[in-house]
Amino acid sequence: MQSFIKYFFFGLLVQMPVVGLAADATPAEGESLFNPVLIALCLLAGILLLTIAALGSALIQLAKLYRDKMRKERSAGVKTIFLTLALLATAYTGFATEIEEVEVASTKLPITLAGLPFAQFWIMIGIIALELIIVTSMLLYMRTLLGLLKSRPETKVAVKEITQKIPFWDRFNKVVPIEQEEDIMLDHDYDGIRELDNSLPPWWKYGFYISIVVAFAYMWYYHAGGEGPSSEQEYIAEVQRGEQDKAAYLAKSANNVDENNVQMADAAGIEEGKQLFVQACAACHGPDGGGSVGPNLTDAYWLHGGSIQDVFKSVKYGWQDKGMKSWKDDYTPKQLAAIASFVKSLQGTKPAAPKEQQGELYVEATAAPDPAADKEKDIAIQ
């Protein structure tokens, strides 16, 4: 406290020439003695002076603490601090001395600024700027001293050596070496278990931040903004894509039909088969399938089997011994399947002049009854 008072009064003595200089400025005739700008500048200069005095006292105390801790460097460190403070005070005093010279040179200037002579106004501004520089310098010195008081040179060297040996993955995850765990040890003690204040891995932390940004963008695009498709729209689009893929597959695989996988065609396929039948088969079997040179195709009797697979095989390969040619080189497998489907559709129709029956009776195979299912049905009825 005594050192603070000492430095405070020392600052007042240093600033007295400046205050006297401002007071010597006699106002011109008709001007008021009360100048708010001058009073504000003087108050600001006084506040900065108090700040300088307080910082000076604190710097002295920090210098003493640093001297007590680092006695080997006591002489150089403390002398440097005191020399800096002395230079700052000398510069401040010298600047105040120069005020009188500038004032003498500027008394001839009739120009005023904010109610003050031009030179005196800028002199006050210069004093305040100098005080700000001094305060900033003192704060920087205080920061340096505090850093020196907290630092441990031997630990820094050890940390530097350890850091050079830390693998990339540990550095990528910001892993603290075991030798430095004491620095991040928390005060918590749970039955002898100590807790470390480890930081999150940078990749995880920034990935989490990015996920938050992506979530907001997603919510805006698909919900709030209404620019993205809804779940229903996406479902409809997927179904349409599936239908298109199915149609493309069927169009591509339509000709991959043989006697093993041929199936009964739909109404359009049967109609197409009818037109092909009239072109290729009506000469031997009649336009209505009643038979002519070839057998009747409307009854239940067949020479070479009456299933859709058997009919497809007969149309595809023919029966040379009975005068029926092979149509596999004239029509595609899809067209052959359409012809076979039309022939099967003639079953039970009434041709105009049906030919007599030929071959063996063919009955469509039905699913064999399941004894186990019948037994369960009987039990349920009982």
Q: What pLDDT digit, counting tens, does each position of 120-164 carry?
A: 778 888 888 888 899 888 888 888 878 777 765 544 444 455 445
Within the chain, strands assigned E span: 112-113, 116-117, 185-190, 193-196, 301-302, 360-361
Domains of the chain: 2-26+33-151 (no CATH), 154-196 (no CATH), 267-361 (1.10.760.10)
Segment 242-252 mean pLDDT: 85
d(CA 276, CA 9): 122
Q: How many CB atoms lie within 10 A of CB 360?
A: 12
In contact, 250 and 243? CB cutoff 8 Å? no
SS3 117: strand
Q: Pick the range with the lowest mean pLDDT from 79-83, 124-128, 321-325.
A: 79-83
Cβ contacts of residue 147 below 8 Å, gap of 6+? none
Pairing of strands 185-190, 112-113: unpaired
Q: Give pLDDT, residue 150.
A: 74
DSSP state of 256: -
d(CA 250, CA 252): 5
Q: Give pLDDT, residue 334.
A: 87
In contact, 326 and 316? CB cutoff 8 Å? yes
SS3 289: coil
Residue 377 confidence class, pLDDT cut points 50, 70, 90: very low
Find tokens 């210098």 and name the residue. Answer: 63
How far CA 263 is from CA of 37, 338, 341, 361, 367, in Å, comes to 105, 9, 8, 22, 17
**Which pLDDT tens digit goes with each residue over 326-349?**
998 898 888 888 998 999 888 888
Q: Give pLDDT, residue 371.
A: 57
How far is Cα of residue 231 from the mean position of the Cα atoms in its chain? 22
Pairing of strands 116-117, 112-113: antiparallel
pTM value surpassing 0.85: no
149: left (phi over 0), alpha (psi -120 to 50) or beta: alpha
Question: What residue spans of 70-117 are helical by DSSP H?
Answer: 74-106
Q: Give pLDDT, residue 95.
A: 44
d(CA 276, CA 274): 5
Nearest in space to 201 (alpha carbons), one of 233, 177, 171: 171
DSSP state of 222: I
**Which pLDDT tens digit goes with each residue over 193-208?**
878 777 788 888 889 9
Mean pLDDT of the chain, nearest integer: 74
pLDDT above 70 covers a percentage of the chain that reads 69
Task: Please provide the DSSP assignment of 170-218 as one string.
Answer: HHHTTPPPGGGGGGGEEEEEETTEEEE-PPPPHHHHHHHHHHHHHHHHH
